[in-house]
Amino acid sequence: MAGGRVFPVWRGIGASSSISWSQEWSRCLKWEFDSRDGGPRIPVFDYPIWFVFCRGGRARIREVYQRGRGAIRLPTDIFDIHQVPKVFREDGIISGYRHPRSSALDCILSSFQMNNETINIWTHFLPTWWASPLFIKSTLKDVLRTWRYFLWRFFLLGSTMDFLSDSYAWPLLVYMLLICVYPFTSCCAHIFSTMSPESRHICYFFDYGALSLYSLGCAISYGFYVMPDCWVNSWIQQHFIPIAIGNSLLCTSMSCYSRFVELQFPQRSKALRTGAFVVPFLFDTVPLFYRVLLSCWGSCSLGEALSNHCYHLLFAFLTCFLFTAHLPERLAPGRFDYFGHSHQLFHVSAVVGTHFQMEGVLADMSSRRQWLQTHGLAPSFLSTFGALVLSFVLNLGIIAVFSALLLWKPRPSCGQQHAPTCGCKEQ
């Protein structure tokens, strides 16, 4: 390539009809010197980049980021599957692995470098609908508006509701806090998971803990807003949140333990981890399933709230399928290393499902407020924030126990523990 041209791009929407495809395709992303101080080269994105899924596309992407890494001094390298220890390997992902002994700064900078975790990071840092095909030309305003989606909705609700004195809004407050926490925790886990094998496990321990707390937030909001009329004030509602706390502890324990048997028994590990999240989901959605069945039998109408809940259930089942099936990368190993593998789709599906769940909870909260305040149990500080704090402390204790067991384990051999540059062959 000549004159600093790095990667061919097409102008796309708004392209002049007088310019042929080949002419547009010849337009390239350039690295230009900063005119103010003659410092390091910086990238200039004049047009959206349409990444190419074709023969030689991976080599072109690698060339782009090798040049870009030198231009903005990204310190991380990219490795193939046979160059990293087994603990870092993913099914069907052949290339794009980061250095398994990265520093914290390297991990942060790697989120701006194309690797097989980049989209995983950004699909939870930008928790909203991720359009396809992917392109790079989002304005700064669009990016800021996107990544703050759940936070923006949270603060918008805070400006219209009295969260401090209105106890009816407390379950919503807990729920909104947790749907902001779990994508951010997942993002951090994916960023810092390559500092060492131990840090990888610990990062995902916290990821699992955040997801289990999210399941508790769902139970708290469902217990007070989504419960069927005939179950209000029943034994189920009175014990719904205590059981959900137990489910959150079970979820964290099972999912953390699954990482200890991941290398020796991968199928058992996957079954444990899947079951750890399916059990709280099924329990939390029992009231919702009952209301959907009543609607199907004609006892009540399918309103706005149930419509959103049904969309949430659809995306929840899709999320579970993507998590367990490892499609499409299982069918074409190496083809979806950077874009389109199941974990990226899993993140998108989970976030979209959470969006519909949030809309359903808000619709139920507003439409059923008068009836629930008259006939239902009033939310208390103990049943909302008290349950959250108790579950948080207990889950943190579980994570601390598993982390201690991990750090006190005998260290594996050099080939499994160290980076590919240690000079040892993996055993």
State the number of CA atoms in the 13 A half-sphere of 45 facing the CB. Answer: 10
What pLDDT shows up at residue 231? Answer: 95
Q: What residue type is assigned to position 332 of the chain?
A: A
What pLDDT shows up at residue 135? Answer: 27
Distance CA 353, CA 342 (A): 16
Pick from 180, 206, 175: which is nearest to 192 by CA?
206
What pLDDT shows up at residue 113? Answer: 87
Helices (H), 26-148: 57-72, 104-110, 118-125, 140-147
Does residue 2 come out as left (phi exceeding 0), alpha (psi in the -120 to 50 range) or beta? beta
Q: Structure tokens of 16?
A: 């002049």
What pLDDT shows up at residue 90? Answer: 94
What pLDDT shows up at residue 73? Answer: 54
Does residue 3 come out as left (phi exceeding 0), alpha (psi in the -120 to 50 range) or beta? left
Q: How far is C-alpha 243 from the geometric centre of its chain's CA atoms?
A: 26
State the number of CA atoms in the 13 A half-sphere of 338 facing the CB. Answer: 20
Architecture of domain 126-131+144-407: Up-down Bundle (1.20)
What pLDDT shows up at residue 159? Answer: 66
- State yes or no: cis peptide before 328, omega within 30 of 0: yes
- State yes or no: cis peptide before 133, omega within 30 of 0: yes
What pLDDT shows up at residue 331? Answer: 93
418 is in an annotated binding site: no
Residue with tokens 């030198």: 70
What pLDDT shows up at residue 36? Answer: 43
Global pTM reads 0.75
Rounded to a whole number of angstroms, the distance between the first and last alpha carbons of the chain is 41
347 is in an annotated binding site: yes
- Burial class of residue 415 in the structure, from the number of CB atoms within 10 Å of its CB (0-12 exposed, 13-18 middle, 19+ buried): middle
| Domain coordinates in residue numbering, the chain | 126-131+144-407
Q: Are 136 and 45 in contact (CB under 8 A)?
A: yes
DSSP state string for 354-365? HHHHHHHHHHHH
Q: What residue type is assigned to position 34 of the chain?
A: D
Tens of each residue's pLDDT in the chain, 427 residues:
444 333 333 333 333 444 443 444 344 434 333 444 444 443 443 333 444 445 566 666 666 656 655 555 555 478 999 999 999 999 999 999 999 999 999 999 999 888 999 999 988 887 643 332 222 333 333 333 334 466 666 666 766 777 788 899 999 999 999 998 999 999 999 999 999 999 999 999 999 999 999 999 999 999 999 999 999 999 999 999 999 999 999 999 999 999 999 999 999 999 999 999 999 999 999 999 999 888 887 655 678 899 999 999 999 999 999 999 999 999 999 999 999 999 999 999 999 999 999 999 999 999 999 999 999 889 999 999 999 999 999 999 999 999 999 998 665 544 444 433 333 334 3
DSSP state string for 246-271? HHHHHHHHHHHHHTTTTTT-HHHHHH
Specify the DSSP element, H or E, that contains 67. Answer: helix 57-72
Pick from 86, 9, 384, 416: which is nearest to 225 by CA?
384
Tell me how many degrees the CA angle 118-119-125 measures, rounded to the nearest 5: 95
Distance CA 325, CA 342 (A): 8
Round the CA-based radius of gyration of the chain to a whole number and report it: 24
What pLDDT shows up at residue 158? Answer: 67
Specify the DSSP element, H or E, that contains 291. Answer: helix 286-296
Give the CA distances from residue 88 to residues 98, 122, 197, 216, 339, in Å, rounded to whole numbers and listed in that order. Answer: 9, 19, 8, 30, 18
Cβ atoms within 10 Å of 282's Cβ, excluding its own: 11
Distance CA 65, CA 281 (A): 40
